[in-house]
Amino acid sequence: MSYDPKRIRNFCIIAHIDHGKSTLADRLLEITGTLTSRQMENQVLDSMDLERERGITIKSHAIRMQYNAQDGQEYSLNLIDTPGHVDFTYEVSRALKACEGAILVVDAAQGIEAQTISNLFLAMENDLEIIPVMNKVDLPGSNPDVVAQSIENLIGEPAEDILRISAKTGEGVPELLESIVARVPSPKGDANAPLKALIFDSVFNTYRGSIVYTRVFEGTLSKGQGMRFMSNNKLYDAEELGYLRLDMEPKKELRAGEVGYVIGSVKDVKDTRVGDTITTSKNGATEPVPGYRDVKPMVFSGVYPTNSEDFEDLRASLDKLQLNDAALTYEPETSAALGFGFRVGFLGLLHMEIVQERLDREFGLDIITTVPNVEYIVTKTNGDEIKVDNPSHLPGTGLIHEITEPYVKAEIITPSEYIGNLMKLCQERRGIYKNTQYLDTERVNLEYELPLAEIVFDFYDKLKSLSRGYASFDYEFIEYQPGHLVKLDVMINGDPVDALSTIVHRDKAYEMGRRLVKKLKDLIPRQMFEVALQATIGSRIIARETVRAMRKDVTAKCYGGDISRKRKLLEKQKEGKKRMKQVGSVEVPQEAFLAVLSMDD
Amino acid sequence: MAGLYIHVPFCERRCIYCDFYFVTTVRSHAPFVAALQAEIAHYGSEYGQREPLKTIYFGGGTPSRLSAPDLESILNTVATHFDTSAVEEVTLELNPDDASITYLRALRAMGVNRLSIGIQSFFEDDLTFMNRSHSQVQARGVVDAARTAGFDNFSIDLIFGLPDQPPEYWGANLERAVGMEVPHISTYSLTVEPRTVLANQVQRGLVSELPDETVSERYLFTMEYLEDRGYEHYEISSFSRPGARSVHNTAYWRHENYIGLGPAAHSFWWTGLPAQRWANVRNLRTYEALVQDGQMPLDFRERLLLDDLANEHIMLSLRTSDGIDMDHLEQRYGVDLLDEKLDDIARLENGGLLEPVTARTLKLTRKGRTVCDSVVQRLVL
């Protein structure tokens, strides 16, 4: 098919987890004949196991479909997949940037969720044409009229015009395809202008290096041409480029409006940052596609091998993970309690969980993670400003002039009956109330500003339990604000345990200290000798608990000659002990380092 | 010199705490005795000439469920296939309800020279709780009966830490045992083993275990009481008058060789590396069928290298009052424990759990014995 930008449609799907994005993608691929049913594998776009298990899309991908519309023309439809979680907002925004339209999928039973709204707003900020659809209309319990009304309230689309589909059965999907052709604008851009191609994703391939997914805005990128990445001025040759079908389909060029891939022997994914612009090395564009920023980790945690001999393995594993995850940062650090490990930076909590799980699952590493924390900016009394991403590195109180902490704007969407619960939760978490907006008669969008540190703990779980699972939330970083923060330390038998230090608000420190040592008391098993647990602020002890010495641990019978059983028990206990960390003479289980996360009220 | 263990898997009824292998069905013992004799012949041909026997031990189950003629024919078969010229101890576990004078005399006559009597308690309500088959009267009379039949070497088992047992019962049990000048006492704290009646009762909340503190206090009291009265606490659960230690059990703790016969019996043999441990199947019918079919009634066999053996030795020797002899550990097992575990040893000594016997020998203190398994855990490699 010859190049005709009027017959290209670039679009994405915005949906909450489980609202049917992947199923809809499957149907589109099937109906356009991109996939034969033999090739059909459910949820084609989510290729990582972990993603599929959790029902989330971590990394965005894209696919090009050919569609014969009712007007008799053939169209190229580029479906660009977007990650669906709050941690990946920036990546979502870049994927949206590559589109002219978005299908807003809303579950006809569940209604709109916070995550959908924030991605929807991102799409609207990017001037995308929004095509709302209600999915799962075939299911009992769906409530399309109410949901349609809330969509109308949100984006102004008349409720009666909203498509009602079932991605599962395919009902309404052909009409949706026609809608895409009719409503999504064709890409603008001059194929003869200097090249501007947006990188909206990249993946690392062991043999080929970084594979870049790109949307060309202006100009033409030809095979063999010299490329320049505008954020870092790195130069590579476009060794191979083409369209993204089910596999990669090599072509001679990618022209304005088109979506495809480029391979250029880029050995380091860090060189192919999402949001960057590719231009030609000669006669290139002067200005990049706007909106690039360096993604910065927001949440930090110490990651240590349980067995100190595994340190190099851990490093090698993190190196490998980073190849496919440019947002992951890590630096070696040393903890008096845990030995050698890394301070790892994540985009958010989900990102952290994913990395931890991959370390465990793909690399078989037994690791201890410390309580996640945010990055503080500390102005010292001498005027120096330092960043602190590890609580134990906070300078002494006397040296601190001011500590500031990151704040986020949080949007919580909830059935109105839970407003009271959730406002109370936000207040407890030092939230600043901003706004309430009714989406329909039952659902409300609550807006708060919250310290990020207050939501990296168990905020999400609390939110869910206080709303019987109905509330959803999303957040984005806004700014650093000063706070009355202090460092809470824990001592075990008089030895400070750096890995248990946390930074907390002054007003909460006593309560927190009390609960923390109490929780630790439950988590640390009785040992042969008494263990003293103390929470301290500076030199002041604010809470104390004692793990009493074990009183009895002796196998009464050891004859009949069955020594095997006892030896095996001993070996099993020894294995169990390997999962403990020796702090001084005390054996501390891994869970204890995350005690803060599991404190009861 | 080797030990021979014979497991007799018959019981009159099920004691609520017991996880040893046994059956309570009333049936003929003949197939078992026949299978056992076949097994004796088999092992006799393989091991009988390697080392003479030093001890023979009938354990169970309840070996005293076997008739005297059955036991005598088993001993005769042993004498046919093993070198028994140097046997110094032949023990039989006996329940008080089997202890008729006639039976005891027959045992003595066939060469049994030591009894291990499952008294458990001298109180009726304790015996009822445990579902023992004997009565308080039988418990109180069995020692005299044994002496009358000519036994001067015997042990009695007593259990402490029973839920709801009045605290004074335990002291009274010990007092009675000491008053009868029993040469050897084995004391066990009641242990809830998985898949026992007791475990089920605990799980259903019918019985609650005593707190560790209480059990520990009773154990410490036992040590003090018996040691003050001339008993030597020579192993975690074993107290003896001078010269009355169990020779057979001591062999287990010293890594001496032993052959176990009968269902669920365990064996250990170490002449060169690897050493071997094996056990028979835990099912009487399977055992009988395999043996009659000329096969080994094996449940498992494992091969142990020096590291495993060293850990076993640390575990076993710490349970005894002889303690760990560093020189012996180094010579026989190639482990320099002072070098490997100096910090732990120092900490355990300072904490009053370990004490030196000589410059190169360490043993548990009384307090250490209450947490023996944890100390072992610290010292194994």
Here the ipTM equals: 0.88
Helix (H, G, I), strand (E, B) or coil at B327: helix
pLDDT of residue B57: 97
Distance CA B263, CA B141 (A): 32
Token pair listed for A153: 């309230």
Q: Mapped to the 3 state alphabet, what secondary structure does A246-282 carry?
A: CCEEEECEEECCCEEEEECCCCCHHHCCCCCEEEECC
Alpha helices by DSSP H, A263-364: 311-323, 349-361
Give contacts of A568 with chain B, Cβ < 8 Å. none
Token pair listed for A195: 């090249």
pLDDT of residue A41: 54
Residue of B nearest to A559 (CA): B249
pLDDT of residue B363: 97
The ranges of chain B with pLDDT < 50 are: none
User: How many CB atoms lie under 10 A from the CB of residue A161?
Assistant: 10
Distance CA A569, CA A590 (A): 21
Token pair listed for B118: 């499952």
Distance CA A85, CA A327 (A): 14
Token pair listed for B31: 């197939």
The beta-carbon neighbor of A552 closest among B215, B267, B300 is B215
Helix (H, G, I), strand (E, B) or coil at A223: coil
Q: Which of A62, A100, A92, A58 is nearest to A242 (CA)?
A: A62
**Residue for token pair 């001298």:** B122
The beta-carbon neighbor of B347 closest among A556, A570, A585 is A585
**Residue for token pair 């891994």:** A590
Residue A344 gets the label, from left (phi > 0), alpha (psi -120 to 50) or beta, of beta
pLDDT of residue A207: 85
Sequence-separated (6 or more) residues with CB below 8 Å from residue A436: A419, A444, A445, A446, A447
Q: Which of B200, B265, B204, B261 is nearest to B18 (CA)?
A: B200
- A89 phi/psi in degrees, rounded to 5: -50, -45
C-alpha angle A116/A122/A126, rounded to 5°? 140
Sequence-separated (6 or more) residues with CB below 8 Å from residue A597: A371, A457, A458
pLDDT of residue B219: 96
Query: Is B99 in contact with B142 (CB distance < 8 Å)?
Result: yes
C-alpha angle A399/A596/A510, rounded to 5°? 55
For chain A, the C-alpha Rg in angstroms (whole number) is 27
Sequence-separated (6 or more) residues with CB below 8 Å from residue B239: B184, B185, B186, B187, B222, B226, B227, B231, B232, B233
Indicate the DSSP class of residue B273. S
pLDDT digits (tens, 9 = 90+) for A345-394: 998 877 888 888 888 888 888 888 888 899 999 999 999 999 999 998 99
Token pair listed for B315: 């575990």
Instruction: Name which CATH class applies to B2-252.
Output: alpha beta
Residue pairs spanning A and B at CB distance below 8 A = 100
pLDDT of residue A269: 76
Most B CBs within 10 A among A528, A529, A554, A578, hence the mutation to make, goes to A554
DSSP element (H, E) containing B374 = helix B372-379
- B177 phi/psi in degrees, rounded to 5: -60, -45
C-alpha angle A446/A451/A454, rounded to 5°? 90
* CB pair distance less than 8 Å for B188 and A557: yes
The ranges of chain A with pLDDT < 70 are: 1, 36-60, 83-87, 558-560, 597-601
Q: Are strands B275-280 and A329-335 parallel, antiparallel or unpaired?
A: unpaired
User: How many CB atoms lie under 10 A from the CB of residue B26?
Assistant: 7
* CB pair distance less than 8 Å for A555 and B372: yes
Q: How many residues does chain B have?
A: 381
Residue A496: is the preceding peptide bond cis (ω within 30°)?
Answer: no
Indicate the DSSP class of residue A78. E
Establish if B374 touches chain A: CB-CB under 8 angstroms: yes
Establish if B213 touches chain A: CB-CB under 8 angstroms: yes
Instruction: Name which CATH class applies to B307-379.
Output: mainly alpha
Establish if B218 touches chain A: CB-CB under 8 angstroms: no
List residues in chain A touching B: CB distance below 8 A.
527-529, 550-564, 566-567, 570, 573-574, 577, 585
pLDDT of residue A19: 80
CA distance to partner chain A, nearest, from residue B276 (Å): 10
The beta-carbon neighbor of A556 closest among B20, B189, B348 is B189
- A282 phi/psi in degrees, rounded to 5: -115, 145
Distance CA A490, CA A492 (A): 7
Looking at the DSSP bridge assignments, the partners of residue B160 are B189
pLDDT of residue A1: 59
The beta-carbon neighbor of A561 closest among B258, B308, B319 is B258
Residue A576: is the preceding peptide bond cis (ω within 30°)?
Answer: no
Token pair listed for A453: 């540190």
Q: How many residues does chain A have?
A: 601
Establish if B319 touches chain A: CB-CB under 8 angstroms: yes
Q: Which of A180, A176, A106, A104 is nearest to A144 (CA)?
A: A106
Strands (E), B28-183: 53-60, 89-94, 114-120, 154-160
* CB pair distance less than 8 Å for B351 and A529: yes
Q: Mapped to the 3 state alphabet, what secondary structure does A378-444 carry?
A: EEECCCCEEEECCHHHCCCHHHEEEEEEEEEEEEEEEEHHHHHHHHHHHHHCCCEEEEEEECCCCEE
Distance CA B377, CA A350 (A): 38
CA distance to partner chain B, nearest, from residue A559 (Å): 7
Alpha helices by DSSP H, B13-67: 30-47
pLDDT digits (tens, 9 = 90+) for B175-233: 999 999 999 999 999 988 888 999 999 999 999 899 999 999 999 999 999 999 999 99
Distance CA B350, CA B372 (A): 16
Establish if B192 touches chain A: CB-CB under 8 angstroms: no
Give contacts of B347 with chain A, Cβ < 8 Å. 585
Task: Give Cα separations from A208 to A159, A230, B205 (angstroms).
Answer: 48, 22, 64
Indicate the DSSP class of residue A373. B
Angle between helices A419-428 and A459-466 (to 10 degrees): 160
The beta-carbon neighbor of A551 closest among B212, B252, B279 is B212
Q: Which of A158, A157, A168 is nearest to A135 (CA)?
A: A168
Looking at the DSSP bridge assignments, the partners of residue A449 are A409, A432
Most B CBs within 10 A among A559, A564, A575, A583, hence the mutation to make, goes to A559
User: How many CB atoms lie under 10 A from the CB of residue B49?
Assistant: 11
Establish if B1 touches chain A: CB-CB under 8 angstroms: no
Token pair listed for A178: 């026609």
* CB pair distance less than 8 Å for B316 and A570: no
Distance CA B111, CA B91 (A): 9
pLDDT of residue A46: 46
Domain assignments of chain B as residue spans, ordered by start: 2-252, 307-379
Token pair listed for B327: 């020189």
CA distance to partner chain A, nearest, from residue B91 (Å): 12
CA distance to partner chain B, nearest, from residue A265 (Å): 50
A492-496 LR contacts (CB < 8 Å, sep 24+): A492/A524, A492/A531, A492/A532, A492/A533, A492/A583, A492/A584, A492/A586, A492/A588, A493/A531, A493/A532, A493/A584, A493/A585, A493/A586, A494/A532, A494/A534, A495/A583, A495/A584, A496/A336, A496/A536
Tell me, what amino acid is at A454? E
pLDDT of residue A113: 82
Q: Which of A341, A405, A351 is nearest to A373 (CA)?
A: A405
Alpha helices by DSSP H, A100-172: 114-125, 144-155
